[in-house]
Amino acid sequence: MSKRIVPLNCLPIGKKGKVVKLISEGIIRRRMLDIGLIPDTVVEAVQKSPSGDPTAYYIRGAVMALRSEEAGKILVEMA
């Protein structure tokens, strides 16, 4: 069974993925690393806001909202 690598913002609600790589740079990259988005971290898409952006993700025991632009720069491997 092959595993797909997709941007985090393409992860369907209720599905989990494992962080493979961060594409972002600078202060945004630092923020992502600070909230625990390092390789092999499991992330679950929990809920989209009523307007569709941002989306809530379950990351290392906490729910955090990320904008689509930010989440698009995080590559995850879907199971």
Structural domain count of the chain: 1
**What is the rounded distance in angstroms from the CA atom of residue 67 to the CA atom of residue 56?**
9
**What is the rounded distance in angstroms from the CA atom of residue 75 to the CA atom of residue 24?**
10
**Which phi and psi angles does 44 have, rounded to 5°?**
-120, 130
Other C-beta atoms lying within 10 Å of the C-beta of residue 32 = 22
pLDDT in tens, the chain (79 residues): 357 999 999 999 999 999 999 998 999 999 999 999 999 999 999 999 998 899 999 999 999 999 999 999 999 999 7
b/e burial code for range 2-27 (CB count within 10 A of at least 16 → b): eeeebebbbbeeeeebbbeebebeee
CATH number at residue 59: 2.30.30.90
pLDDT value, residue 66: 94
pLDDT value, residue 71: 93
Range of the domain at 49: 4-78
Rounded to two decimals, the pTM is: 0.88
pLDDT value, residue 79: 74
